[in-house]
Amino acid sequence: MAELIAEHAAKAAREDREERARRERPVTFREVAHDWLVWLSSVKQARAATLRDYRSVLAEPGTPHARGDGRCEGRIMATFGDMPAANIKTADVSRFLRTLDVAGLSPRNVNKHRQVLSSVFSYGQREDTFTLRGNPVSATDKRRELPAAALDFYEPEEVEALAGSAADGAHRSEARGRGGKVMDLSPEEVEARALEDAQDGELFRLLAYTGLRLGEALALRWGDVDLAGRRLMVQRAVSGGVEGPTKGWQVRYVPLADPAHDALVRLQARRDFTGAEDYVVCGRVGGRLDASALWKRYHAARKAAGLRYVKLHGLRHGAGSLVARQTNAVFVQNFLGHAKLSTTERYMHAKARPEDVERLNLAFGVTAREDERAA
């Protein structure tokens, strides 16, 4: 009994020393950053794409990229990883940011590193985390970024050309086997490909006429579609390959114009996968479509249609910009699901509205042109 008591006392004393040493040892930046990422995932439930982006910025040097053969530079961890977080000063962060300038990183990329550093230190200042005394990033300079590029988007006739190109299969290259011979396709395969192509065309229409984000469209189920009431309920989205809540964690209702409504009617006319829990756009066996593969098919269809380069996300920009020609900013904000009205303002000036030109002509005393009077 005496030996057991002594052994227990020794174990308790050893654990107490280890715990005291752990508390007294300066916590490193790496530990704070890792704890922050866990908190973002488990407590804040950040979107998968957001977490992937932050993990990339905070990766260790040499970490393989998620895609491709490249490896992460790991600039933040290489510089600050082993340093006690409490010892990192504003001058240290300023010097680090200047090395990014010298390395040729864009102002936007430098600001991203700065923002991640600031978020880690802000988390470390909390009393329920590491009680750091300050945030050394706060007093550093944010880089001046170039203004956002002017929005470019497709007009409705260009959207229809894109959708028609996809539906006709014009973007498909011939399936060739070895020796350059065209592979024989079974009638079933020909039909399956035709259905896939038609679905792509309808999806491009849906994106262009509803303003849905691609992740929202990929997660849309038939139970979210009210054809009689002519509206969609957007309550989930795909981010980083993971299905979850929408970007703003809000449910919104999107009214359906005729082109969007008709596209959905045609999609629902298929033989299978039209139940309430089935995806509106889906693979051959009903599964969710792959976003990266769809992106490639979009650009192939765009090229086949002879259309200029516009990002797939530009279909959403087009929806917002076209609607902005006819209505006010609040309606556009609700239509697109923007959290801030300032985001919507960008769409209000994408292209001049005819009535804006008329107002300016009236302001400057310009009368109708001769050809217009003659008409």
Residue intervals in the chain for CATH 1.10.443.10 = 156-339
Of the ranges 64-68, 144-148, 258-262, the best mean pLDDT one: 258-262
CATH number of the structural domain 17-124: 1.10.150
The answer to whether 34 is a known catalytic residue is no
pLDDT reading at 176 higher than 70:
no
**Can 113 be counted among the known catalytic residues?**
no
Using CA atoms, how far apart are residues 25 and 18, in angstroms rounded to an integer?
10
Architecture of domain 156-339 in CATH?
A: Orthogonal Bundle (1.10)
pLDDT at 91 over 80: yes
At residue 180, the pLDDT reads 46
Residue-level pLDDT at 369 = 60
Q: Are 315 and 154 in contact (CB under 8 A)?
A: yes
**pLDDT at site 339:** 87
| Active-site residue, selected from the candidate residues 47, 261, 316, 317 | 316
317 annotated active-site = no
Taking each helix axis from N to C end, the angle separating 314-324 and 329-336, rounded to the nearest 10 degrees, works out to 150
Mean pLDDT for 156-160 is 97
Which of 172, 231, 247, 266 is catalytic? The answer is 247
Q: What was the pLDDT predicted at 69?
A: 79
Answer whether residue 375 shows pLDDT above 70.
Answer: no
* Pairwise pLDDT comparison (172 vs 158), residue with the higher score: 158
**Is 65 among the residues known to form the active site?**
no
**Residue 91 CB burial class (10 angstroms; 0-12, 13-18, ≥19):** exposed
Query: From the candidates 54, 123, 154, 347, which is the catalytic residue?
Result: 347
Q: Which of 213, 261, 297, 302 is catalytic?
A: 213
> In this prediction, what percent of the chain has a pLDDT beyond 70?
92
Active-site annotation holds for 338: yes
State pLDDT tens for residues 178-216: 444 556 889 999 999 999 999 999 999 999 999 999 999
The CATH 1.10.150 portion of the chain extends over 17-124
pLDDT in the model for residue 23:
59
The single residue of 75, 113, 171, 338 carrying the catalytic annotation is 338
Look up the pTM and report it.
0.78
Active-site residue (options: 17, 95, 313, 349) = 313
Question: Considering the chain, what is the average pLDDT of its residues?
Answer: 90
pLDDT of residue 183: 66
Report, as an integer, the average pLDDT of 260-270: 97
359 pLDDT band, cuts 50/70/90, is: confident
